[in-house]
A = this chain, B = another copy of it.
Amino acid sequence: MSVTFADVQSAAERLAGRSIVTPLIESPALNERLGARMLIKPETLQRVGAFKFRGAFNRLSRLSPAERKGGVVAFSSGNHAQGVALAARLLSLPCLIIMPSDAPKVKLEATRGYGAEVRFYDRATDDREALAAAAGAERGAVVVPAFDDPFIIAGQGTVGLEIAAQARSLGASIDLLLGPVGGGGLMSGVSLAMGALSPATQLYGVEPAGFDDTRRSLDAGERRGAPPAPRSLCDALESPMPGKLTFPILRDHLTGVLTVTDAEVAEAMRYAFATLKLVVEPGGAVALAALLAGKLDLAGRTAAIILSGANVDPELFSRVLAGDV
């Protein structure tokens, strides 16, 4: 079960007219700050406020008539939940989402707003995969994984298809592309697209401190978890280990993986507010955070970054603006 560039192209056909072709925008202020030409892909403007709608819709659109009856089950801290919930609504499928009891309120409310049934689990004591599997069996529902699925990976890869096409129409050749890595669904899909369309582009994943399992896995040459860590500001990126499908793709394509601290992420969120005028959630801001923190030398180069999501509680956003985070 491998995923190919053709799968990404096929996902793009499924998503045509369903997902938003988010723009590729430029900020002269950011260019000046970094001494580079920056191309910003704001998946914050995607349906549900995150790229996750792409993979979820692609996956759900492939269900057989028999599978459609039982609907879908997913577990997620929030963005995948919203993506699956909206895709299920658009495709008229029953949908159960299993969320941690401490998920951001904005993600919980949006998931319910799309008509999904929500059950909670305790992040500390429950096994969410077992809960999802049990709920799936009980309802005859298909469990939709957050990243380790060929259709999910291919759907997220359409972000890369769009970046490559939009950069071409700007006459830009992308030297580097950076995006967040949780389980690796986004960056493995983007790797397939860029590998085919822009093979000279260096690809970097960015992880939050304490959840650098992908960096550790790439160093080790095999899938590894990170040692248990306290929570990260980046609730969307707290995955324990790269996926079975995503890891080999990341291993074959990524030039490197960078790590950012909560403080660097908060600074990037403030920069996005004050200068880019975009709302970005913590996990969505890691690529920007890595560059603002000077983790790569960009002088004279062209770099693309993915701002992957914007679902952040207003209370937390205000604390970040106030510099309390």
Contacts and interface: CB of A to CB of B under 8 A. Distances in A.
A47 B28 contact: yes
B44 A277 contact: yes
Given A20-B26, A23-B25, A26-B20, A277 B45 contact: yes
Interface residues of A, number: 29
Contacts of A29: 47
A310 B275 CA distance: 9
Interface string A1-45: 000000000000000000010010111110000000000001011
Interface in A258-315: 270, 273-280, 310, 314-315
Contact of A314 (B44, B280, B321): B321
A322 interface: yes
Contacts of A42: 277
A23 B20 contact: no
A310 B279 CA distance: 11
A321 B315 CA distance: 8
A274 B314 CA distance: 8
A49 interface: yes
Q: Across chains A and B, which 5 residue pairs bring their CB atoms closest together, nearest first?
A: A318-B318, A23-B23, A277-B310, A314-B321, A277-B279
